[in-house]
Amino acid sequence: MSDMKALVDQFPAQLREAIVIGEKFSMTKPSKEIRNILITGLGGSGIGGTIVSEIVFNECKVPVTVNKNYFVPAFVNDESLVIVCSYSGNTEETLQAMELAMEKNAKIICITSGGKVAEIAKAKNLDHIMIPGGLPPRACIGYSLTQLFYVFVAGGFAGKHIIDELKTSVELIENEKSSILKEANSLTEFFLNKIPVIYAVDGYNGVATRFRQQINENSKMLCWHHILPEMNHNELVGWTEKHDELAVIILRSDNDYARTQSRIEISKSVFSKYAGVRECYSKGKSQVERSIYLIHLTDWVSVLLAEKKQIDATEVNIINHLKGELSKI
C-alpha cells in the first residue's frame, strides 16, 4: 500500500485521534464580544474552513469568512475571531495574514503542527491547538477539520451536536468501508484517462473543492468543479457539444433541497447528451456525516487513480519548485 493510500485508509483513526485532541481544547475569553469570524489558511490546511463554514451556516449567529490570501478583510478588528490554519506552520500567505490580524487586535486561535505559527502563538500566549506533524497537509484534514469544529463549539458559535455527529461519522465510514471501496474503484475506472467534472449542491462546495484538490495533487490530473444552483446561471450554457474527454460526477444527498434536486435532474439530462455522467449519493443523517462520507470516498478515488496511472500520489515536486523559486525573491 502506497504512503498516501495508507493515509486515506487511516482517516477514521485520524478522526478518532483528532477528537481526543479537540476534547482538551479550552478557549480563553475574548476581550470583546466576537462579531465576525475569519478562517485563514490555504490548500489542505484551508479547505476545512470552507467545509465548516457551510456546516454551521444555519446556526452560527455571526458571519464566517474563509480567507485564502496574504491579507485580511478590512472588517477584521478587536471584535473578530481569526482562526489561523497552517499544518506546517510556515505557510507564507497565512503567516502574513496572521501578523495583520494581530496588528488589528483580533482574537487569534491557531491550528498547526509547529513551525513559525506555533512559535508566535507560544511567544504571544495565543490560543492554539497542536496537531501531529510530519505528514502531507492534504492527508491531515481529519486533524484540522475536527479542531475547527471544537473551536466553533467552544466559542458558542455552534452546538455540541456537531461533535456528536462527528463521532458518529467515524462509525459510519468504518461500517461502510467495503461499499466505499467498491464505489471508489468503480468511479476510478470511470475517471481514468478523462478530465473529471465535479458538480455538487450549495452546502457541499468545500467537499467538491476537496475532491478537485485531491485529484490535482494525488492523481496529478486537471479537473474542475461547480455548484448548483449557481452553475445553472452560467456554466450550463457551455454544454453545447460532445466532450468525450470529460467525465461528469454529481455529488448528491437524499435530503438536498427539492428545487435543487429538480435542477439536478434537468441539468443531468443536458450533461448526458455530451459526456458520461455518474451520480454519487452520500450517506449519513447529518451534514457532518454526509460530508465526512463523501470526503473519504473521494479521497479513495484520488489515490486509486494514482495507482492505476502508476504514479506517486505523495509527490508534489512542482509545488516545491514554486516555493523554492519564491524563496529567491
pLDDT at 1 over 70: no
Helix axes 161-175, 141-154, angle to 10 degrees: 160
10 Å CB burial of residue 266 (0-12, 13-18, 19+) is exposed
Q: What is the mean pLDDT of residues 227-245?
A: 98
Q: pLDDT, tens digit, for every residue of 42-68? A: 998 899 999 999 999 999 999 999 999
Nearest Cα neighbor of 156 from 297, 270, 274, 26 is 26
Maximal CA-CA distance, the chain: 59
Average pLDDT over all residues of the chain:
97
Q: What is the pLDDT of residue 107?
A: 98
Q: Just list the catalytic residues.
A: 217, 233, 323
The string of pLDDT tens digits covering residues 125-150 is 999 999 999 999 999 999 999 999 99
Distances (CA, A) of 21 to 7, 39, 147, 301: 19, 20, 8, 28
Structural domains of the chain in order of their starting residue, each with its CATH number: 3-159 (3.40.50.10490), 169-309 (3.40.50.10490)
Stated pTM of the model: 0.96
E-strand spans in 195-257? 195-201, 224-228, 246-252
Specify the pLDDT at position 23: 97
Helix axes 161-175, 287-309, angle to 10 degrees: 40
Report how far residue 281's alpha carbon sits from residue 59's, in angstroms, rounded to the nearest whole number. 25
